[in-house]
Amino acid sequence: MPQSQVSQTPKTAEPHQAAAAARAKEAVTAPSAARQLASFEAGIRFLNARRLKEAREQFVDAAAGPERDVAQRARLHIAMCDRRLQQATVSLGSAEDYYNYGIALINSIGNMGGFLAPNFRAWIEVIFGTPAAGLLGLALVVLIDAGLILLAPARD
């Protein structure tokens, strides 16, 4: 009988030791997990404020933390910061470069207008319940644009 009591003691002590080890591990990682999350949130705030260097530093700290999901998201945000920091400026050397760049800008604005105008017209028609309201809304936008162009200061 004493042998059976001795064999039961390690079995009951083993789960307690495992639970104690798990609690100790959580106690060790909890502050660093909280610090990791705080770094990630600070990085997001910096990213939204367009302070990319500071955001990248916070994301690097968050990527080194114990939480795998937060670390993965931090690595993705590091890549985003790197891409935005490495954007090349447009260097135009010849008249042809200026011409091509200007045409590209005009096409971009035209494409955006081609998307926005029909949606704006439909939205106005739904609000006011008549097709004439959509056309009047577009005419109003054109008049506002013309006024803004006339009010813009002249370049030297």
Distance CA 105, CA 101 (A): 6
Which residue among 32, 54, 85 closes a domain?
A: 85
Distance CA 142, CA 120 (A): 13
Within-domain flag for 90: no
Residues 17, 58, single domain; the answer is yes
H or E stretch covering 156: none
Please state the pTM of the whole predicted model. Answer: 0.43
Binned at pLDDT 50, 70 and 90, residue 28 comes out as: very low
- Tell me the percentage of the chain whose pLDDT exceeds 90: 64
Within-domain flag for 134: yes
Instruction: Specify the pLDDT at position 92.
Output: 86
Within-domain flag for 75: yes
Instruction: Tell me 65's DSSP state.
Output: S
Closest CA to 142 of 105, 106, 116, 108: 116
Total tally of structural domains belonging to the chain: 2
Which positions ≥6 away from 32 have C-beta within 8 Å?
65, 66
* Domain carrying residue 29: 2-85
| Position 71 pLDDT exceeds 60 | yes
Q: What is the mean pLDDT of the segment spanning 70-90?
A: 88
| Position 13 pLDDT exceeds 60 | no
Residues 79, 99, single domain; the answer is no
| Position 125 pLDDT exceeds 60 | yes
Q: What are the structure tokens assigned to 111, written together?
A: 């494409």
Q: What are the structure tokens assigned to 93, written together?
A: 């050397």
Residues of the chain by 3-state class (helix, strand, coil), percent to 5? 85, 0, 15
Regarding predicted confidence, which is higher, 133 or 7?
133
CA distances from 112 to 12, 122, 144 (A): 71, 16, 17
Residues 102, 69, single domain; the answer is no
Regarding predicted confidence, which is higher, 8 or 93?
93
